[in-house]
Structure 1
Amino acid sequence: MTSDTTARMLRLLSLLQTRREWAGLDLADRLGVTVRTVRRDIDRLRELGYPVDGTRGLGGGYRLASGADLPPLLLDDEEAVAVAVALRTAAGGLTGIEETALRALAKLEQVLPRRLRGQVSALQGAVAGITWEDRGPRSDPALLAMLAVACRDHEILTFDYTPRHGATAARRVEPCHLVSSGRLWYLLAHDLGRDDWRVFRLDRISAPGPTGRRVPPRPVPGDAPADFVARRLSAAPTRYRAVATVRVSAGHLGAHARGPAGRIRPVSDDTCLVDASDDSLARIAQTLAALGTDYSLDADPDVVRYLRDTATRTLRAVD
């Protein structure tokens, strides 16, 4: 195989890894060759063990299918650096992900070109993470991966779900999007049994099962999935109620305060409400402290008592 053919096949493999399916004509245009040459290169990839599926006809094309083993991935310089840094600072909230990420990082660093290894080392040396003791719920990375594929393929899923209050029940849903909030992960899906949109916490999902049935994507009502989830979470029943009235506009507070946009509700041009209600008194205090401005508070007695005790301890500490 000549060097030109090898380079072209590597480019072809890279293209197949960036999109779910390619039309033969599109691949030929990208590679600057004929459709016939693309077919020959696809056959060569198959001989090398790459599982490339093809369909004939007007809407036909090629896709890199899943095989028995993970095929080599081709990454450009920016992609390789991004993956290495992401592995180094692997997302929290997933059981056992840190050790798995470090194993994958060790394999990647062995094959990184010297010019990229220096960039990754510099980034790792300059970036440090803070590890807090975490006793909160953690999600299964295998479940996260399964749900991500179902969202991408618009495949109906079944699973058992245990709500905060109530018994475990079977659900059948059309998955739409995964949303992370802090160390918690949520699935936004259309619940077929209830004919309505629902938000499911991943750590409360069990016994997931793909059905093999794919459906057209269902648009999320109103806005972006993350904003929709934030609003649903803020409207969900909580153990403690706490609503702050802030004398700034909702737009100003949303741009300067830390917290989900779904918690902020405009009242007038210079006033908004912030729903800090939560199951945790400590998280309510954190939400209110992050406002960074004065406010009045309408809250349950337990919240008021907790805030007063916290403020008293703080004043004693700085006196």
Structure 2
Amino acid sequence: MANTSHRALRLLSLLGSGRRWSLRELAARLGVSERTVRRDIETLRALDYPIVTLHGPDGGYRLGAGRTLPPLLFDHDQALAVAVALQTAPSTMFGLGDDAARALVTLHQVMPPALRATMESLRLTRLQNYWEFPAPPIDPATLTAVGTAVRHRHILVTETLRPDGTRAVPGDPDHLPAHRIEPHHLVVWAARWYLVAYDLTDNEWRVSRVDRLHPRPTTQCFATRALPHPDLAHFVMSTHDRGDTPAVRQCTGTARLNLPAHIVARWAPGGSVVEHLDTEYCRLTLGAWSWAGILATFDTEITELHPLELVHACRRLTRRWAAVADTENLGPSHE
């Protein structure tokens, strides 16, 4: 009976994921025969869980509407995933670290003993290294307003904030007029939240940093548009004008690169800014823990280096690399 109950809960957990499952897939995941799965499905139906049978070549089973699953219906792997996720959640929202810690404590208190032991088996300390470029956290109210608009397909009226998060008022030299946008997708990349939206004011697609937006919700609906590129990730990563600002690091410099902006934008680390100059050149502003780290980011010709410390670092690296090139033990050139 214990095995049957555990298997039924596992089956309910799978069906509760929201996807369609074939009988063969369920049997494989549970490690039992298809006949046993059918019997367990009938057991759950007898307990008033609306498990729907889907007919046809792509048929299978899914959980229907009209029943709320127990909120803590986790199996062993899910409990471990929750423990890892809550302990490694990036601090991209104000107070998220404290909220994640409190959520982990709450789950520990109400988990069954076996699952509690699983979650407690992995306690870790997350450290930040010098190669990380953290972004400023987002106000949960802003993220909620944008996320709700994306979900319900409601137009947003947005103002662009200053890099320090303050609003410019009319009359300020950096004040920008409000724009009406159609918010289509939220994307998280390099610990930064981006909004893919169609700008109704300028009639073009834009990628914007969510923490740089001051949104005002509306109830006006819009129709879904085809994205300008079929690959959403490629579109976000190759868009250079997405509202990024330089991360605060020990060393920050700029250089003119012999590469187009969309290439540099895709591979530049978080916390960098790419400025389009023409079809072949762009300017990169980047922070790093050393001046040499800035120079070694892209393998291309660079000019117009600023500040002077970056130029001096270039000269030091030139001497070091020349010494390596003159080493007797250096193998044959592959150029």
TM-score calculated relative to the size of structure 2: 0.57
Tell me which residue corresponds to 1:176.
185
Alignment of 1:66-81 (within 5 A): 71-81=70-80
Are the counterparts in 2 of residues 160 and 171 from structure 1 also a CA contact under 8 Å?
yes
Tell me which residue corresponds to 2:284.
276
Confirm or deny that 1:296 pairs with 2:280: no
Q: Which residue identity is paired with 1:161? A: T
Identity percentage of aligned residues: 25
CA distance in 2, matches of 1:200, 1:211: 21
- Of 15, 22, 26 in structure 2, the residue corresponding to residue 30 of structure 1 is 26
Shift of 1:213: 5.8
Shift of 1:95: 0.7
CA distance in 2, matches of 1:222, 1:298: 36
TM-score calculated relative to the size of structure 1: 0.60
Distance 1:95 1:55, change over 3 A: farther
Alignment of 1:24-173 (within 5 A): 26=22, 30=26, 32=34, 38=41, 41-42=44-45, 44-45=47-48, 62-63=63-64, 71-110=70-109, 111=111, 113=115, 116-117=118-119, 119-121=121-123, 124=124, 127-130=125-128, 137-141=136-140, 143-144=142-143, 155-163=152-160, 165-167=174-176, 169-173=178-182
Shift of 1:148: 5.6
Q: Which residue identity is paired with 1:242? A: A
CA distance in 1, matches of 2:145, 2:226: 19
Tell me which residue corresponds to 1:11.
10
Tell me which residue corresponds to 1:243.
256
Are the counterparts in 1 of residues 245 and 272 from structure 2 also a CA contact under 8 Å?
no
Are the counterparts in 1 of residues 51 and 63 from structure 2 also a CA contact under 8 Å?
yes
Give unpaired runs (5+ residues) of structure 1.
47-51, 266-271, 313-319
Are the counterparts in 2 of residues 242 and 298 from structure 1 also a CA contact under 8 Å?
yes
Tell me which residue corresponds to 1:233.
240
* 212-221 or 107-116, which deviates more: 212-221
Shift of 1:159: 2.5
Q: Cα deviations across residues 17-57 of structure 1 (Å, max 9, x unaligned)?
A: 322x548xx469736468897477246255xxxxx697999
**How many pairs were matched up?**
278
Are the counterparts in 2 of residues 172 and 191 from structure 1 also a CA contact under 8 Å?
yes
Q: Which residue identity is paired with 1:77? A: H
Distance 1:97 1:35, change over 3 A: same
CA distance in 2, matches of 1:190, 1:212: 14
| Structure (1 or 2) with the greater helix fraction | 1
Distance 1:177 1:72, change over 3 A: same
CA distance in 2, matches of 1:114, 1:238: 42
Structure with larger Rg: 2
* 4-13 or 53-62, which deviates more: 53-62
Q: Which residue identity is paired with 2:209? A: R
